[in-house]
Amino acid sequence: MARFVFCAVPSILLPLIMIAVGCGVGAACIVYSVKLIKRQIKLSNSITLVELKSAKIHYWIFALVTAFFFVYVVFQMIDANGPEVILLRDYFAMPRWQALIMLAFLAFMLLCALFLFATLIKCRGGVVDKGVYTAVRYLEWYHVHDYIIDEEKCVVILTADKHTFKSLKGTTPPLKVAKNDIPKLKFILNKNKNKFSSF
């Protein structure tokens, strides 16, 4: 029954869907990666007052998993008798060229995602004169409503939410700061208190 339903679907429909999804996801990953790179260039051209670091182990895990699937898909494209090609041929009556199109756009989508994860891994953070750069965003001083510094763990957390820490909205992940830089960071944050939005 399931096979009958699969065979009733035109074989060309799935490659067209994969092309649309692959182009959409790939474009989103590339656009966001370029945005991050431009932000990092601005940070590099600014004087970093205090360097901030964030945990990136999850990006490494996502990147390794994505790389594994990318390599797997490429090998499926090379192998004419690969299990994915056979699956598409048997259940969707799909000729090899259509299967290759599907796998190629899937590989493209995975490659774009891998590029995004690599960009996130390379992104660094820091406090500059006009605001704070984290790995994924830039907060000008008027965006920052509150902050917490844990001196024992050498961690700072900022929030751009007007309700401060009542929700996770606009809250940065814990950002590591060198113990020697904590007094300097406190001074900078206190100095810019008058720039914090009060509404």
Let me know whether 17 and 100 are in one domain: yes
Q: Is residue 4 part of a domain?
A: no
Q: Are residues 110 and 18 in the same domain?
A: yes
Amino acid at 128: V
Domain presence at residue 34 = yes
In a domain, residue 170? The reply is yes
* pLDDT per position as a tens digit, 22-72: 999 999 999 999 999 999 999 888 888 888 888 889 999 999 999 999 999
* 97 and 148 inside one domain: no
| pLDDT score, position 59 | 93
Mark whether 112 and 18 lie in a shared domain.
yes
Residues 113 and 147 in one domain: no
Last residue of a domain, one of 90, 122, 154: 122
For 142, other C-beta atoms within 10 Å of its C-beta total 13
Q: Which of 85, 104, 122 is the last residue of a domain?
A: 122
Q: Is residue 3 part of a domain?
A: no
pLDDT tens for each residue of 126-149: 888 888 888 888 888 877 777 888
pLDDT over threshold 60, residue 3: no
One-letter amino acid at 172 equals T
Residue 103: give the domain boundaries.
11-46+55-122
With beta carbons less than 8 A apart as the criterion, state whether 39 and 138 touch. yes
Q: Which residues of 176-197 are buried (b: 16+ CB within 10 A; e: fewer)?
A: ebeeebbeebeebbeebeeeee
Number of domains forming the structure of the chain: 2
What is the tens place of the pLDDT at every residue in 143-191? 777 788 888 888 888 877 666 666 666 678 888 988 888 888 888 887 7
- Label residue 100 by pLDDT band (50, 70, 90): confident
Closest CA to 50 of 193, 181, 186: 181
Residues 22 and 99 in one domain: yes
Q: Is residue 182 part of a domain?
A: yes
Residue 111 sits in the same domain as residue 150: no
Is residue 21 domain-shared with residue 116, that is, in the same domain? yes
Instruction: Kindly state whether residues 79 and 132 are assigned to the same domain.
Output: no
Distance CA 49, CA 127 (A): 6
